[in-house]
Structure 1
Amino acid sequence: MNVHSIESFGTHDGPGVRMVVFLQGCKLKCLYCHNPDTIDTAGGKAYRIDELVNMAVKMKPYFGKKGGVTVSGGEPLLQSRSLVPFFKKLKEADIHTNIDTNGRVLNHFTEELLDEYADLVMLDIKHMTEAGYNYITGRKNKETTFKFAKHREASGKKMWLRYVLIPEITNTPELLHDMGRYFKDYKTIEKIELQPYHKLGVHKWDALGWEYQLKDARENTKEDINAAVEILKNYFKEVKVN
């Protein structure tokens, strides 16, 4: 697999303590991306699957009952074909598996992962409108993400949603209610995690020579965040602010 970086003892990428494998490459170019160096598919370092499995097995004593391995990115499902044997071996070693994804890839290998080998999926919802999705990601067809969510729901396996709060862009009462109404009947969603907008990755955009287009976007106030939580509590079992 083509790997950007590996984090030991991650605590914000799924339940418990986790080994987080950030894969290289993404087809989206989200305006707020705080790891833009993971976007280019030509970067990264090649790892053999057995190498990564051995690393995870060595870390297993630290995972406890809840922890395990998360693949993130970039967009990890661009390498879904390699993830199938990787996750299969992790499951054979009794290690919890999690995918952090934007839901743009739904092929045979992804479906196998969703149905058989991914204990958890964290699905990033970019926007509830096509225009908003296109503005944030630079891509069209937001429905790919929702088709992905429907497939995971049909599998009956656990899913968390993730959503970046940007005042006036994604954090409006109308959009939050729309998202809540859309997902309110899903049985597999355990929680939604809110990521308040920040500008911590701007220096990475500068280093790549890319223009950061959300310079004028403001960060959320405590009142903004609290108001979003109060709306979403009407629709989801748990609302967590990261």
Structure 2
Amino acid sequence: MTAHVARTGRIHSWDLSTGVDGPGTRFVLFLSGCPLRCQYCANPDTWYMRDGRATTVDEVVGEIERYADFLTAAGGGVTLSGGEPLLQPAFTGEVLHRCRRLGLHTALDTSGYLGVRASDEMLADTSLVLLDVKSFDAPTYRDLTGAALAPTLAFATRLDRLGVPVRIRYVLVPDRTDDEEAVEGLAAFAAGLRNVQQIDVLPFHKLGAAKYEALGIPFPLRDTPSPEPALTERVRGQFQAHGLRAV
């Protein structure tokens, strides 16, 4: 086995959360840098690695150790998010490995666009992947993110082959990701995988709008409303009709 060595990475911040970043109460580490520019991104302040704070794995794990007993008792663990944690694969892999050595549940929150950078060794240290699928329609995906859909689907298939548990996260944006045919396509794709635990249908919100204003960046979806409850239930129902747990 390849020896693990302490590495330096760039992080935005960390926080404790419950219910949205994996099971139980989580220590969520937000890494800096992301190759996508999602129109509904709530964290534009994590886009560039240069804006993050340089830190070592030892520093991060030392902070996590302070909460280890509490996280375990709360049925939680550690989630690496961002930004995009796979933009810093060596740092991400080492943090995941050290957390697993502490006996903690680990989650990787990723778009999957850089899935090829996740080694099998890293994924063996990952208890759960929170896979953000922006759309199942390739042109819509590119319009929303500026990138291609195919790498995410390839990563999802690889995770299934490796038996790594997955929760698919789907942000529901009116007139962009609510197309019935596209949702049906994703539902059928997910139902064909053996490792999908559930689908998180996440209604679009504007909680990050103030960050765009502070950064002097136009918010692309400023005039887009949050989805009506009936639309959210329709989309959840489409996933459930394929035998998937959708929340």
TM over 0.5, shorter chain = yes
Q: Which residue of 1 aligns with 2:5?
A: none
Please say if 1:83 is aligned against 2:92.
yes
What is the alpha-carbon distance in structure 1 between the residues aligned to residue 230 and residue 89 of structure 2? 40
Please say if 1:132 is aligned against 2:133.
no
Query: What's the CA shift for 1:21?
Result: 0.1
Equivalent residue of 2:66, what SS? helix
Pairwise mapping of residues 165-176 of structure 1 onto structure 2 (< 5 A)?
165-176=172-183
CA contact (8 A) 2:25 2:74 kept: no
Match of 2:241, as an amino acid? N
Query: What's the CA shift for 1:225?
Result: 1.0
- Relative to the length of structure 2, the TM-score reads 0.92
Match of 1:162 among 160, 169, 175: 169
Q: Which residue of 1 aligns with 2:202?
A: 195
CA contact (8 A) 1:100 1:123 kept: yes
What is the alpha-carbon distance in structure 2 between the residues aligned to residue 102 and residue 135 of structure 1? 15
Deviations 1:105-154 (A, max 9, x none): 1335443312x110100000011122101110022x21000011011111
Decide whether aligned partners of structure 1 residues 108 and 9 sit closer, same or farther in structure 2, where only a CA change above 3 A counts: closer
Deviations 1:75-101 (A, max 9, x none): 011111112222111111111110000
What is the alpha-carbon distance in structure 2 between the residues aligned to residue 108 and residue 39 of structure 1? 18
Equivalent residue of 1:12, what SS? coil
What is the alpha-carbon distance in structure 1 between the residues aligned to residue 118 and residue 236 of structure 2? 35
Decide whether aligned partners of structure 1 residues 109 and 159 sit closer, same or farther in structure 2, where only a CA change above 3 A counts: closer
Match of 2:21, as an amino acid? D
What is the alpha-carbon distance in structure 2 between the residues aligned to residue 210 and residue 72 of structure 1? 22
Equivalent residue of 2:115, what SS? coil
Please say if 1:30 is aligned against 2:38.
yes
Q: Which residue of 2 aligns with 1:66?
A: 75
Aligned residues: 238
CA contact (8 A) 1:191 1:236 kept: no
Unmatched 5+ stretches in structure 2:
1-8
Please say if 1:179 is aligned against 2:196.
no
Deviations 1:204-242 (A, max 9, x none): 1111111112123221111111111111111243111xx
Unmatched 5+ stretches in structure 1:
none
Deviations 1:146-184 (A, max 9, x none): 011011111112110000001121012212111111121
Q: Which residue of 2 aligns with 1:96?
A: 105
Match of 1:224 among 231, 239, 244: 231
CA contact (8 A) 2:136 2:186 kept: yes
Deviations 1:43-99 (A, max 9, x none): 111121112112222201211263110000000111111122221111111111100
Query: What's the CA shift for 1:10?
Result: 4.1
Q: Which residue of 2 aligns with 1:209?
A: 216
What is the alpha-carbon distance in structure 1 between the residues aligned to residue 85 and residue 98 of structure 2? 17
Match of 1:97, as an amino acid? T
- Relative to the length of structure 1, the TM-score reads 0.94
Q: Which residue of 2 aligns with 1:233?
A: 240
Q: Which residue of 1 aligns with 2:149?
A: 142
What is the alpha-carbon distance in structure 2 between the residues aligned to residue 84 and residue 104 of structure 1? 17
CA contact (8 A) 2:108 2:126 kept: yes
Match of 2:83, as an amino acid? G
- % of aligned pairs identical? 32
Q: Which residue of 2 aligns with 1:43?
A: 51
